[in-house]
Amino acid sequence: MEFIKGVTFAPFACRGCFQTKEAFESLDNLKARTGANFITLVPNGVQATAQSEEIVWDTEVTMADDELIAMIDYAHEIGLKVALKPTVNCTNGTWRAHINFFDKDVHCEPKWSVWFASYTAFQLHYAKIAQKTGCEMFLPGCEMVMSERREAEWRKLISDIRTVYTGLVSYNTDKYQEDNVSWWDCVDVISSSGYYPLEDWDKELDRIEKVVNKYQKPFFFAECGCMSTTGSSKVPNNWCLQGEVNLEEQAAWYKAMFEACKKRSFVQGFCLWDWSCRQYSLCKAATHGAYEIYGKPAEDVVKEYYDSI
């Protein structure tokens, strides 16, 4: 597998977001300013609560198929490889990791069997688009922690995906979960969300390396990032963190991640979180405390590292 120098582009973009000139210019900026060779696009599926059985992807909160296809085609045109990662979210704000049902079906209660049928339809819809557009990778889910114990259903889902999609298949587990997934053998690439505290990278990479050695699969961080907010380097997964803008802390976190990972040959890439299709003015970068690296010192760190590979 080619080393992935990736960035997640406009995750959960709503309908119409990819139809603007600004979105295409933002993707041009992503490639030029980061040195990326790869992007991940994240179509949004939604369910009402963590116990809802129906997932929908044809509302205004999800990009339309034609605009998604146009963006994939443009990414390929400018020399970027593309991963498609359809991801489900709960409209009531509950994190998708908490989607969960009784292990045994119970009358008059929501069921895994019904949910997985809807989830499979959601994933197969986009797997067909990935095949049609020549996406280089497909990831049928992200950080679905409570569902990961349902090994038989995940194996069946990935088998079904392979009937319509012939590229690389991965799955994006959450931080600290790499050694809890029991079905890595059925994917081509192991991946996870690398939101680890700045000082913990070596310890966590030791743990992840054991998983990679066990399954003998390529590995990359399908998500990783840190906000430019004071304290984020200690809890980079906390997107609700409040505090002063701290551009240097974000840059230091990226330096620490890259320094730790470049010593580990099993780490075959990154897909940074994230890059918007509606960019703030560069003059406002110093006041922007979220994950984006556009115009911040962390962008220089990323460009230098990606250019060195």
CATH assignment of 4-308, among 3.40.50.150, 3.20.20.80, 3.40.50.620, 3.40.50.300: 3.20.20.80
**pLDDT at res. 196:** 98
Distance CA 167, CA 10 (A): 22
Residue 2, amino acid: E
pLDDT of residue 153: 98
Whether 170 and 139 have beta carbons less than 8 Å apart is answered as yes
> What distance lies between CA 134 and its chain's CA centroid?
19
Of the candidates 146, 85, 83, the residue with the CA atom closest to the CA atom of residue 116? 146
Please report, for residues 9, 120, 262, the alpha-carbon distance to residue 41 in angstroms, rounded to integers and kept in the order given: 6, 18, 25
Q: In which residue ranges of the chain is pLDDT below 50?
A: none
Six-digit token pair at 225?
A: 């990032």
Contacts of 246 (CB under 8 A, 6+ apart): 228, 229, 230, 231, 232, 289
Tokens linked to 285: 């970068």
**Do the beta carbons of residue 127 and residue 138 sit within 8 Å?**
yes
Q: What is the pTM of this model?
A: 0.98
Coil/strand/helix, residue 66:
helix
Instruction: Return the pLDDT at 88.
Output: 98
**How much is the pLDDT for 159?**
98
Q: How far apart are CA 16 and CA 20, in angstroms?
A: 7
With a CB cutoff of 8 Å and minimum separation 6, the contacts of 213 are 266
Three-class DSSP labels, 223-268: EECCCCECCCCCCCCCCCCCCCECHHHHHHHHHHHHHHHCCCCCEE
Q: How far apart are CA 63 and CA 61, in angstroms?
A: 7
Of 189, 136, 135, nearest to 158 by C-alpha is: 189
Every domain of the chain and the residues it spans: 4-308
Q: What DSSP letter does each residue of 137-157 carry, written as one string?
A: EE---B--GGGTT-HHHHHHH
pLDDT value of position 92: 98
User: Which parts of the chain are beta strand (E)?
Assistant: 4-9, 38-41, 44-47, 81-84, 87-90, 137-138, 168-173, 189-193, 219-224, 267-275
Burial of 111 (0-12, 13-18, 19+ CB in 10 A): middle
The reported pLDDT for the residue numbered 139 is 99
